[in-house]
Structure 1
Amino acid sequence: MTDFLQVYAGLKAVLFDMDGVLTSNSPFHEAAWKDVVQHYFQVQIEDGDTRIHGGRAHEILTVLLGRQVTQEEALDFHEHKEARYRELAQGNIQPLEGLHAYLNFLTSKGIEPVLVTSGGIPNVALVLDAFGLQETFKLRITGETVKNGKPHPEPYLTALQKLGITAQQALVHEDAPAGVRSGRDAGCRVIALETTTGAAELYALGAELVVQNFDQLLERLQTPQEV
């Protein structure tokens, strides 16, 4: 066990997933998935199905449909699903509690915030514009940046490579199983947000700490505890 503040002592960067981490926007994604999967494939997604979070459309559809999905099918579906998500989310998303205060804390420590998301550039722009964070996240690894999406470690390995740092110098924030696996397999420590997945599952996947939001994380930073 390590004293909580020591987690940050040697950090050069904190790597943030976007959906479910910067913002608790899963209701909009879930609604978009339900609408478009029903329209395209006549498949009903149950409330709270965590399989639709944190990965790429091709892999998620393969699991949901129980069959191989062509790249053409996945691309067409993805474009319509993302457009539907942006319709629902525009003007309605809010930053996760404590996000801006936590980013200020990182800046005060000289720790760079980096975005590592499966989302595409239009979705990234929607969130960063809404929260005034375009200048905060200068390095962004998006769905267009890498060949292999989460749970493959490539997104986080790419971020480390571009930063020129080791996994031990970075900390990952994730909310979904695929993202936690991606961060852990890249060699990074993970502090997870319990926005889309239960704490027990996140701990089982290797998260060292699970919090509900960044206000709670900042409280832990100010309290001599172990993680």
Structure 2
Amino acid sequence: MQVLDFKPKAIIFDLNGTMINDMEYHTKAWHSIITEDLGENNSYESVKKEMYGKNPEVLERIFGKDRFTPEEIISLSNEKERRYQEGYFPYLKLIDGLDEFLEQAKNEGISMAIGSAAILFNIDFVLDGLKIRSYFDGIVSADDVEISKPHPETFLKAANLLGVNPAECLVFEDAPKGVESAQNAGMKCIVLTTTHDSEEFAGYSNIIGFIDNFKNPILTTLL
């Protein structure tokens, strides 16, 4: 068994694809809007590549800067979240082993926060739907930052909320841009291979392990 010699004082979790395996449903929601509502011929895979950052940023990467008015962006974003929650709600659950890991970390006195590009509406959907809000001492959502990942603002704000030096934080992420954000913040990272293969993370020096769920025995050496 691999042994991790890093003992974090705080843990920061990305949400989508990291705590819950729901990225497919975000992609499906955007893909249906883009192809059915907006009539664009974008493949599912091409949309999947843009699944990071805030909703307006996703639209801008796909369509360009001036395609939509601010009002249209809000409307499209709200409809996307409605379709996402409707599609994913029957399958809402934590990634295997995370419930036990959260309890163990809490018992060890490790502070925990969420640092996500999700809007608070979706974070609340998960925390309250799964009754896990009590584990977290801070939440940083898309609504709380000026610049999305891979900028470090999300994770630095989370560390500040927890009162912990960034170098003493461990991030759990599932996306290359999220790992880059953690690296820019000076934080080590463990990658969930729920959305991307390990080969897609080549070049990041802050990764200390890859896992496919929270039952991986290497996690016991963290706490």
* Shorter-chain TM-score range: 0.7 to 0.9
Fraction of identical pairs, as percent: 27
Q: Find the aligned partners of 1:48 and 1:185 in 2 and give their Cα distance.
A: 27
Give the superposition deviation at 1:77. Answer: 1.9
Per the alignment, residue 99 of structure 1 pairs with: 98
Match of 1:18 among 15, 19, 35: 15
| More displaced stretch, 180-189 vs 43-52 | 43-52
In the alignment, is the contact (CA less than 8 A) between 1:173 and 1:190 conserved in 2? yes
Q: 1:5 to 1:178 in 2, by over 3 A?
A: closer
| CA deviation after TM superposition for structure 1 residue 203, in Å | 3.9
Deviation at 1:169, TM superposition (A): 1.0
In structure 2, relative to structure 1, the CA distance for the partners of 1:69 and 1:164 (3 Å cut) is farther
Contact kept in structure 1, 2:52 and 2:58, CA below 8 Å? no
Partner of 1:146: 145
Equivalent position amino acid for 2:210 in 1: V
1:90 pairs with 2:95: no
Query: Which stretch shifts more, 37-46 or 95-104?
Result: 37-46
For residues 43 and 176 of structure 1, the distance between their equivalents in structure 2, rounded to whole angstroms, comes to: 25
Cα pair 2:113 2:162 within 8 Å, conserved: no
The counterpart of 2:40, out of the listed 38, 43, 49, is: 43
RMSD: 2.2
Kindly state the Cα deviation for residue 182 of structure 1 after the two structures are TM-superposed.
1.0
User: How far, CA to CA, are the matches of 2:132 and 2:180 in structure 1?
Assistant: 26
Q: Which amino acid aligns with 1:25?
A: D
Shift of 1:47: 3.5
Q: Give the aligned partner of residue 215 of structure 2.
A: 215
Does the 8 Å contact 1:157/1:186 carry over to 2? yes
**How many aligned residue pairs are there?**
218
TM-score with structure 1 length normalisation?
0.86
What SS does the aligned partner of 1:161 have? helix
Match among 43, 60, 63 for residue 62 of structure 1: 60
The CA deviation at 1:66 is 4.9
2:56 is matched by which residue type in structure 1?
Answer: H
Distance across 2 between alignment mates of 1:101 and 1:142: 24
1:55-76 Cα offsets, whole Å, 9 max, x none, are: 1122222222355555614333
Deviates more, 1:32-41 or 1:22-31: 32-41
Q: Which runs of 5+ in 1 are unaligned?
A: none
2 CA distance for matches of 1:197 and 1:71? Answer: 32
The answer to whether the Cα contact below 8 Å between 2:50 and 2:61 also exists between their aligned partners in 1 is: no
Q: Distance in 1 between matches of 2:44 and 2:128?
A: 29
For the 8 Å contact 1:192–1:209, the answer to whether it is kept is: yes
SS across alignment from 1:204: coil
Q: Paired residue for 1:184?
A: 183
The CA deviation at 1:37 is 1.5
CA distance in 1, matches of 2:182, 2:69: 26
1:135 partner SS: helix
